[in-house]
Amino acid sequence: MTASGSEPDRVDVRYFKTRLEDPALLDEAVVVEGLLAVPVRGRRRGGFVSLATAESADRAIAALSGRADFPNLRYEFSSYPADEFDDAEEYHIVLWGDDPPELPKPVDEASDYEMREYDIASGRFYGYSEKAIQRYLRKRRA
């Protein structure tokens, strides 16, 4: 791992280690603002980090710029929560690689089937193992 001013969050490391089809990608990950930026390679076609401020996003882009395994770097602003436990009001997202699968629109009207297909496509896009994807789908159904 390459550090950009901080140690990686242990939860972040564990998250990726238990989900990636190729955990060796973590050897090339870059730590930005304590989060892991995992490179694109093999099955993994894209990635992102969600940051609290525009300044953090600028630092992330600077840390990842010029690296072949972080292609197509870009910044997006979002007010959509990263997960159900996230209470921040805004998000500064740095993305790399291909564009991720799109959520069905409108999300609150999407069928269970549409959301399941989205979850499978997203898991594969981010290079997660089939075992990890199926584990996620089982938890989501519970």
Specify if 66 maps to a domain: yes
Per-residue pLDDT at 62 exceeds 80? yes
**Mean pLDDT, range 107-116, rounded to an integer:** 91
More confident residue, 29 or 82: 29
Per-residue pLDDT at 133 exceeds 60? yes
Residue 5: left (phi > 0), alpha (psi -120 to 50), or beta? Answer: left
Q: Binning pLDDT at 50, 70 and 90, where does residue 107 land?
A: confident
> 3-state class of 72 per DSSP?
coil
> What is the pLDDT, as a whole number, of residue 14?
93
Specify if 138 maps to a domain: no
Instruction: Write down the mean pLDDT value for the chain.
Output: 88
**Mean pLDDT, range 76-95, rounded to an integer:** 69
Give residue 82's identity as a one-letter amino acid code: A
> What is the pLDDT, as a whole number, of residue 141?
78
Q: Which of 95, 55, 91, 87 is nearest to 71 (CA)?
A: 95
The count of domains in the chain is 1
Per-residue pLDDT at 140 exceeds 90? no
Specify if 55 maps to a domain: yes
Specify if 26 maps to a domain: yes
Instruction: State pLDDT tens for residues 1-51.
Output: 655 556 777 888 999 999 999 999 999 999 998 899 999 999 999 999 988
> What is the pLDDT, as a whole number, of residue 83?
52
Strand positions, DSSP E, the chain: 2-4, 30-32, 35-37, 46-51, 74-78, 91-97
**Mean pLDDT, range 119-140, rounded to an integer:** 96
Residue 77 is classified by DSSP as E
Specify if 123 maps to a domain: no
**Mean pLDDT, range 79-85, rounded to an integer:** 54
Q: Which of 77, 74, 40, 71 is nearest to 60 (CA)?
A: 74
Task: Output the pTM of the full model.
Answer: 0.85
Specify if 31 maps to a domain: yes
- Residue 69's domain comprises 2-100
